[in-house]
Amino acid sequence: MANGKLAVQRLSDTIAHELERRILDGALKPGDRLQPERDLAAELGVSRPSLREAIQKLVSKGLLQSRQGGGTYVTDRLDAGFIDPWQDMLRQHPNIQGDLLEFRGMLECEAASLAACRATDADLQRIGDAFALVEALFARGTSPEVLEQQVKADLAFHQAIAEAAHNVMFGHLTASLFRVINDHIDRNLRHLRRSEEDWRELRDQHRAIWEGVRSRDPAQAAAAVRRHIDFVKASMVARARYEERETRARVARNLTRPPPATGEAAEVEQGSS
């Protein structure tokens, strides 16, 4: 304040604040392209020069990225600092998967509980649509393409619940965590697909989570997530044991194979063929 007068906020700052809010709320996600300048200016009721100035402010902050002739996109600046080092750590120290899963359980149980209390009708529609897609894809085959779609649908379902908690930290931390453990989830689904009983159990767990949120029962929703995380944790241990047995079996097969023929013996074999 100068000379006893309140400073008037520039219009471009107000616009930038609104766009930041949309990024924090998850209405604008990493990779999303902003509407064409003309349309966005009309929606916000501002001039295009003011909008342009606001966008430049967010570009300078690293929240938006302008591409020559290709529009303006939301970056992953809020998440990248979390994702990059943890992906490297997980590759180098796979034993911390259990710790990440424990953290995921804590995060998702609370998110589901809050979603059951706070979800709007639009949130419930989105979660319901995400669950319907999970159901449809989980009923399909086991080709690599289908499994990839199943992983994406699984994560989208859990992410929709996290965002329905209406807490910006839950939405962003869950999205970041899923990008860190995406490969781990992919391997777990492939392992669970080997057993029809496990696959049915997994589908039942997603249905229970959805029912808890839809019925607006926070305790039921949180308990369903806890059951799901405990099941995933057990399957992770089972998968590790299975992969260890597979590795030992491959080593044993290689040790029992006769050595390749060399020298004169090889020439004799070739001559007799």
Structural domain boundaries in the chain: 11-75, 79-255
For residue 261, what pLDDT band results from cuts at 50, 70 and 90?
low
Q: State residue 245's pLDDT score.
A: 77
Whether residue 267 is predicted with pLDDT greater than 60 in this model: the reply is no
User: What is the share, in percent, of the chain residues with pLDDT greater than 70?
Assistant: 82
pTM of the model: 0.69
d(CA 40, CA 148): 34
- When pLDDT is averaged across residues 153-169 and rounded to a whole number, the result is 94
Sign for the CA dihedral angle at 26, 31, 35, 40 comes to positive
Task: Give the C-alpha distances (Å, rounded to integers) separating 263 from 18, 104, 266, 269.
Answer: 77, 58, 5, 10
Q: Which CATH class is domain 79-255?
A: mainly alpha
Q: State residue 269's pLDDT score.
A: 44
Which residues does 207 contact at the CB level (< 8 Å), separation at least 6? 131, 135
- When pLDDT is averaged across residues 235-251 and rounded to a whole number, the result is 75
> What CATH number has the domain spanning 11-75?
1.10.10.10
Q: Are 165 and 115 in contact (CB under 8 A)?
A: yes
